[in-house]
Structure formats: structure tokens, C-alpha cells
């Protein structure tokens, strides 16, 4: 069986930056074991599988090299980029995912793709896990969490850029990942995302975690439109807008590879 595969760099407009995702559009779901094996072979942050269920409606599932993920922003952006490229008459598409429901995506005139996600604002943590404290080289100023991750807030951007993770401790926080964040001089806020329990070392650009970061910084900064930078080695730029129970995350994407795999 041959499957078409696209690899897209997201939250960037140049290749080799942002976060890469593989996109495979299928007519029928493959077995979970096969989808996981393909994701392991791809060895990217995420491999997205997209199944058409209507004219502009699609089901989507995401797999890291370690496990299936219940919500992934950058691979949703990559999937939308492929669908919009293949269907230039489309300006809106809708994805459906079991864990997060309906995800509406819009192609904007300025080259950005805007995704509508559930607001997943974090709540303060009073009992901070010892493994979280031992897993970071710099002590947090504040800790919060949502269904996806612990949010470690630092008092300076320098701390976010210089903090070192100790994976043997952060792994013990499974199923939760860890995001570190601070107010930024150039952007509204910066972050880094560590996910040794679910994906690997450090994620280059993470759309899903900004459904929690954007509401947090929106409240702190008193603004609903925010520009964010994920300060990984590759880096990623995300534009966020908070509106009630939705968070709109926009980014650009660029094609790196188009080909076929044989399974």
C-alpha cells in the first residue's frame, strides 16, 4: 500500500524553522499499530492522519513517535495547509477530534491560517510536585496547570531561555508535560515546551499549549491579542486572540517535502 505524505514546517514562513509535522490523508483509518509505526519511522514531533467525512469536514488524529496525542496545534496547522493547497477554492475547513471536538480553520488573506481552539486556561497549583521542582534548573515564580501540562512562570525572559530540564524527573509527571513562560520584551510572552513523557525532548513550536498560555497572559497583560514566540532552537511565532471560551491561534506554514511511503 502506498500513502501520500507531506512534511510541513509550521509557525514559520521559511523551511528548517518552526515545527515540522507529517500529514497523511487517508480514505479509511489504518490500524493504530500501523499509524504509530509510521509516526515512529517519521520521527517528527507529530504525524497527523486526516480522513474526509464531508465536503470540507475532516476527522483528525495525531501521533508522536511515542504515543497518540489527543490534541496538537501545529499538526492541525500543517494538515490545514495541505488541504488548502490541494483545494484552492476552500477558505474554511472543519476538523473533528475526539478529545477537543470541533476545530474550525480559516485561510486568511495575509497568508496566515487561523485555528479556533477551546480555551484551556490553567489553574494555580498549590501542591507543586517535587519532580517538577527537581526537573528544572531554575525555581518557578508561579505554577499552574491544565489538562495538558504544568505551567511554570518565570519572572524574566532570561530564565526561560536559560533553564535546563532534567528529563528523568519530568518524565515522572506523565501524562502531563511542562511549559515554561515569561513576559517578553520583543513579543508579549515567550515559552519553551518540554515533553519527555509524550513526545521527546523539547517541542519546537506547540500550538495546543497556547490555548492555555494565551488566556493566562491575556489576563496578566490586559489584552486579548497577543504575539508569542516559542524559544526553541528552531523557534516559532504564534499570533493569539482570546475570545471567551475560544482561543484563536494563527500561523504560517511552508512545504518541505511531498512524497509517498510504502507500507
Q: What is the pLDDT of residues 161-175, one digit of tens each?
A: 999 999 999 999 999
CB-facing half-sphere around the CA of 210: CA atoms within 13 A = 34
- The answer to whether the CB of 163 falls within 8 A of the CB of 192 is yes
DSSP state, 111? S
Instruction: Report how far residue 93's alpha carbon sits from residue 216's, in angstroms, rounded to the nearest whole number.
Output: 28
Looking at residue 58, its pLDDT comes to: 98
Please give the pLDDT value at position 139. 97
Q: What is the pLDDT, as a whole number, of residue 100?
A: 86
Judge whether 218 and 244 are in contact, CB under 8 Å: no
The verdict on 128 and 220 lying in the same domain is yes
* Residues 46 and 92 grouped into a single domain: yes
pLDDT score of 197 more than 90: no
Q: Residues 168, 62: one domain?
A: no
State whether 177 and 240 are in the same domain: yes
The rounded distance, in Å, linking the Cα atoms of 117 and 244 is 11
Domain CATH code at residue 108: 3.10.310.10
* pTM: predicted TM-score of the whole model, two decimal places: 0.91
Q: How far apart are the first and last CA of the chain?
A: 5
Query: Residues 104, 213: one domain?
Result: no
Provide the mean pLDDT of the chain.
96
Q: Which residues of 204-241 are buried (b: 16+ CB within 10 A; e: fewer)?
A: bbbbbbbbbbbbbbbeeeeebebebbbbbebebbbbbb
Considering 46, 123, 202, 243, which one is annotated as catalytic? 46
What is the domain range of residue 155? Answer: 123-244
Strand partners, 236: 230
Q: Do residues 148 and 109 both lie within one domain?
A: no
> How many domains, the chain?
2
Evaluate if residue 199 carries a pLDDT over 90: no
> What is the Cα–Cα distance from 153 to 141, expressed in whole angstroms?
6
Q: For 206-258, what is each residue's pLDDT tens digit?
A: 999 999 999 999 999 999 999 999 999 999 999 999 999 999 999 999 999 99
Is residue 46 annotated as a catalytic residue, yes or no? yes
Amino acid at each position: 500500500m502506498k500513502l501520500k505524505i507531506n512534511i510541513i514546517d509550521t509557525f514559520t514562513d521559511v523551511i528548517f524553522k518552526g515545527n515540522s509535522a507529517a500529514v497523511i490523508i487517508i480514505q479509511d483509518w489504518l490500524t493504530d499499530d500501523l499509524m504509530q509505526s509510521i509516526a515512529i519511522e517519521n520521527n517528527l514531533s507529530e504525524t497527523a492522519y486526516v480522513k474526509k467525512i464531508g465536503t470540507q469536514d475532516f476527522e483528525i488524529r495525531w501521533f508522536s513517535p511515542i504515543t497518540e496525542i489527543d490534541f496538537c496545534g501545529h499538526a492541525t496547522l500543517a494538515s490545514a495547509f495541505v488541504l488548502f493547497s490541494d483545494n484552492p477554492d476552500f477558505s474554511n475547513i472543519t476538523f473533528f477530534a475526539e478529545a477537543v471536538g470541533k476545530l474550525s480553520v480559516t485561510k486568511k488573506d495575509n497568508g496566515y491560517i487561523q485555528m479556533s481552539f477551546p480555551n484551556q486556561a490553567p489553574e494555580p497549583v498549590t501542591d507543586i510536585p517535587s519532580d517538577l521542582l527537581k526537573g528544572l534548573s531554575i525555581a518557578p515564580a508561579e505554577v499552574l496547570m491544565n489538562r495538558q501540562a504544568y505551567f511554570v512562570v518565570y519572572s524574566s525572559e532570561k530564565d526561560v531561555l536559560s533553564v535546563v530540564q532534567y528529563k528523568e524527573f519530568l518524565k515522572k509527571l506523565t501524562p502531563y508535560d511542562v511549559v515554561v513562560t515569561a513576559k517578553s520584551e520583543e513579543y508579549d510572552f515567550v515559552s519553551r515546551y518540554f515533553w519527555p513523557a509524550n513526545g521527546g525532548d523539547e517541542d519546537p513550536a506547540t500550538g495546543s499549549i497556547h490555548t492555555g498560555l494565551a488566556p493566562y497572559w491575556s489576563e496578566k497583560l490586559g489584552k486579548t491579542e497577543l504575539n508569542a514566540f516559542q524559544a526553541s532552537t528552531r523557534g516559532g511565532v504564534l499570533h493569539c486572540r482570546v475570545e471567551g471560551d475560544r482561543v484563536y491561534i494563527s500561523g504560517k506554514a511552508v512545504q518541505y517535502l511531498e512524497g509517498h511511503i510504502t507500507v
